[in-house]
Amino acid sequence: MKKILFVASMILLCTLSAVAQDRMITFDQLPQSSQTFITTYFSKANVSYVKIDEESYGFEYEVYFNNGAKVEFDKTGAMKKVDCNHSKVPDGIVPAQVITYINNNYPGAFVTEWCKKRTNWNAELSNGLDLYFNSQYMLIGIDD
């Protein structure tokens, strides 16, 4: 029994040590495209911190703001997710045809989170709905 417990403990220890850890970086260490995205759409927000989230399949950049918003970028610096923590995602991030669809079908609602899911896009709305769009920004699903 002691041997089994020892082996299980060693496996757990090895697994935990193999899990990648986040690294803090400076804003200037982000890819140029990520820096441009932040200065374009979040020029009035103060960056709280920036980190690299290293995972088994790669890594991504995460930028956190003092107002609670967060932006994630892939390893090339392309935007993956904007989460404005119940506030409106800045104008220009969500494609115009998605905004038009939302305005026509959900008056008064706005996008609080916009993220890429493989080849599709997800918009979380202020009214609690999740809308799913294909790569041409055509609605393909709704989740409440």
**Domains in the chain, CATH or no CATH each:** 18-83 (3.40.1420.30), 88-144 (3.40.1420.30)
What pLDDT does residue 66 have? Answer: 95
| Residue 106: φ, ψ to 5° | -140, 65
Report whether pLDDT(3) > 80.
no
Report whether pLDDT(29) > 70.
yes
What pLDDT does residue 10 have? Answer: 44
User: Position of tokens 């979380």?
Assistant: 124
Residue 138's SS3 state is coil
What pLDDT does residue 100 have? Answer: 96
**How wide is the angle at C-alpha 53 spanned by C-alphas 50 and 59, nearest 5°?**
120
Q: Mean pLDDT across the stretch 113-122?
A: 93
Separation of alpha carbons 116 and 95, rounded Å: 12
Per-chain mean pLDDT for the chain: 87
What is the layout of strands, in order, in the sheet containing 130-133? Answer: 23-25, 47-55, 58-65, 70-73, 79-83, 111-117, 120-125, 130-133, 139-143
Q: Identity (one letter) of the amino acid at 16? A: L
Q: Mean pLDDT across the stretch 30-45?
A: 95
Write the DSSP string, 99-129.
Answer: HHHHHHHSTT--EEEEEEETTEEEEEETTS-
Q: Which of 9-13, 49-53, 127-131 has the lowest mean pLDDT?
A: 9-13
- Tokens (6 digits) for 76: 């090339």
For the segment 63-97, what is each residue's pLDDT rounded down to a tens digit? 999 999 999 999 999 999 999 999 999 999 999 99
Report whether pLDDT(39) > 80.
yes
Q: Mean pLDDT across the stretch 89-116?
A: 96
User: Position of tokens 């918003």?
Assistant: 69
What pLDDT does residue 56 have? Answer: 60
For the segment 18-27, what is each residue's pLDDT rounded down to a tens digit? 455 789 999 9
**Ramachandran category for residue 21: left, alpha or beta (phi over 0 → left; psi -120 to 50 → alpha):** beta
Distance between alpha carbon 117 and the CA centroid of its chain, in Å? 10
What pLDDT does residue 20 have? Answer: 52
